[in-house]
């Protein structure tokens, strides 16, 4: 699955361990992010937390792999994910 943060085609929902390739705009690199968590908010909207090990960077997408444009919402989802991961001892955090 490959996306630049948006998609013009219908996609299936992301699942744990799926890999999403994201093209950076600053230096035109392609980075592979692996889905490490799936979370849902109070309104039952689903989000995926992805991690790129070489860059040590997390991103948050909607369930279909589209990058969230709302940075505050993305940070809130990441914060919740980290709390869940810590509470579960880091094993299968948001499965």
Residue ranges covered by each domain of the chain: 2-87
pLDDT the model gives residue 25: 84
Per residue in 16-46, pLDDT tens? 999 999 998 888 899 999 999 999 988 999 9
**Whole-number pLDDT of residue 85:** 87
85 vs 92: CA distance, rounded Å: 8
- pLDDT band at residue 91 under the 50/70/90 scheme: low
Q: Return the pLDDT at 94.
A: 45
Contacts 24+ apart (CB under 8 A), 39-42: 39/77, 39/80, 39/81, 39/84, 39/94, 41/77
d(CA 24, CA 4): 8
Residue 3, pLDDT above cutoff 80: no
CATH number (2.30.30, 3.10.450, 3.30.930, 1.10.10) of 2-87 reads 2.30.30
Say whether pTM exceeds 0.85: no
């Amino acid at each position: 699955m490959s996306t630049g943060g948006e998609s013009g085609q219908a996609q299936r929902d992301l699942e744990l361990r799926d890999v999403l390739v994201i093209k950076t705009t600053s230096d035109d690199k392609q980075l592979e992010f692996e889905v490490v968590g799936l979370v849902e908010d109070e309104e039952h909207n689903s989000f995926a937390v992805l991690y790129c090990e070489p860059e040590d960077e997390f991103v948050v997408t909607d369930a279909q792999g589209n990058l969230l444009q709302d940075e505050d919402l993305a940070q809130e989802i990441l914060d919740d994910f980290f709390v869940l991961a810590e509470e579960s001892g880091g094993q299968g955090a948001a499965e």
